[in-house]
C-alpha cells in the first residue's frame, strides 16, 4: 500500500480525464479532483528536485512535488524563488522537464489547473 499511496495522484489524474469524458459527472466532482491533482503534483509527487546546483547541473535528488526541492534547504528556497520571480521562470522551466516523471508532473499540474478552471466555468454555466 505504501508504494501505491505515493502514486495516487496519477490515478486521480486518470480519473479526472475520464470524468471529463463522462457527461454525467457534475462540475463539483471535477473541481475537487482537479484541485487534488494540482496539489499532488505541486507538493507530493515523487520526482527529481531539479534545482540548479553550483556546477550548473540540475539536482537529481528525490523531492516531493514540483514546488518543493530535495532535503537541501537551499534548493527548497531556490525553487520557491524561481516560482515567484518572473526572470527566473526560464530556469524553472528547465527544471520542469528533467525526467519523464517531472515532465508528467508538470503536465499533470497544468491539466489540473486548466480542468479546475474549466470546471468552475462549467458550474457557472449550468
Which stretch in 40-48, 73-81, 83-91, 98-106 sits in contact with Zn ion by CB under 5 A? 73-81
What is the spatial distance between Cα 110 and Cα 97, in angstroms, rounded to a whole number? 13
- Backbone φ/ψ region at 12: left (φ over 0), alpha (ψ -120 to 50), beta: alpha
The stretch among 30-38, 51-59, 76-84, 110-118 that binds Zn ion (CB under 5 A) is 51-59
Q: Using CB under 5 A, pick the residue from 51, 52, 105, 111 that binds Zn ion.
A: 51
Among 61, 76, 91, 122, binds Zn ion (CB under 5 A): 61
Which residues, at least 6 apart from 104, have a Cβ–Cβ distance to it below 8 Å? 10
Which positions touch Zn ion (CB under 5 A)? 49, 51, 59, 61, 69-70, 72, 75
Amino acid at each position: 500500500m505504501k508504494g501505491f499511496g505515493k502514486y495516487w495522484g496519477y490515478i486521480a489524474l486518470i480519473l479526472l480525464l475520464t470524468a471529463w469524458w463522462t457527461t454525467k459527472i457534475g462540475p463539483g466532482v471535477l473541481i475537487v479532483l482537479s484541485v487534488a491533482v494540482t496539489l499532488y503534483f505541486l507538493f507530493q509527487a515523487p520526482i527529481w528536485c531539479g534545482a540548479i546546483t553550483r556546477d550548473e547541473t540540475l539536482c537529481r535528488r528525490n523531492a516531493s512535488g514540483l514546488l518543493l526541492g530535495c532535503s537541501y534547504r537551499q534548493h527548497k528556497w531556490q525553487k520557491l524563488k524561481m516560482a515567484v520571480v518572473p526572470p527566473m521562470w526560464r530556469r524553472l522551466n528547465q527544471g520542469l522537464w528533467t525526467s519523464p516523471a517531472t515532465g508528467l508532473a508538470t503536465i499533470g499540474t497544468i491539466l489540473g489547473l486548466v480542468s479546475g478552471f474549466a470546471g468552475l466555468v462549467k458550474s457557472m454555466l449550468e
